Amino acid sequence: MKRALLLAFCLLACGKGSGCDHDRRADAMLLVGRVDQFRRADNATKPSLVDAIRTTPCNEDDICAARTACLAFAEPTAKALVTKHEVEVSLGAIEHGTLAKDTPEAQSLPSKVDAAEALLKEGQSKLDACDSLLLDLKRTYRL
């Protein structure tokens, strides 16, 4: 009986926010850290860090909103970096003579560069929203 009362009390407390603040704060801190890690990483590493942001737990609306906003920045940025790397590899192959300039792959390079630039601009246009919501999390959860 005591155990059932204790469990009920814990569930009630968690529902009111006092018992779950630590979990919320930990989720917010994890998201802030993962976005910061993405930003600080070198360009070759950034694409592999997007999934960590995507899988960050969010059981609160503010954390979910920040995660969504930061993914809107990180995903196109990562795609742009992958495309840029593909272009660099192809250009290197052209320079070394292992890819002919008249192949469809070589001919598609200008459009790949344009696509990478568009993705990068898309990501940059979402950066302010991500920053703003992360700042709100830092204030709310005292990070």
Sketch the domain layout of the chain as residue ranges: 21-140
Percentage of the chain with pLDDT > 70? 85
pTM attached to this predicted model: 0.83
From 51, 50, 4, 59, select the one nearest 27 (Cα to Cα). 59
CA distance 43 to 127: 16
CA distance 89 to 129: 33
pLDDT at residue 6 tops 80? no
From 35, 41, 34, 24, select the one nearest 126 (Cα to Cα). 35
**29-83 residue pLDDT tens:** 999 999 999 999 999 999 999 999 999 999 999 999 999 999 999 999 999 999 9
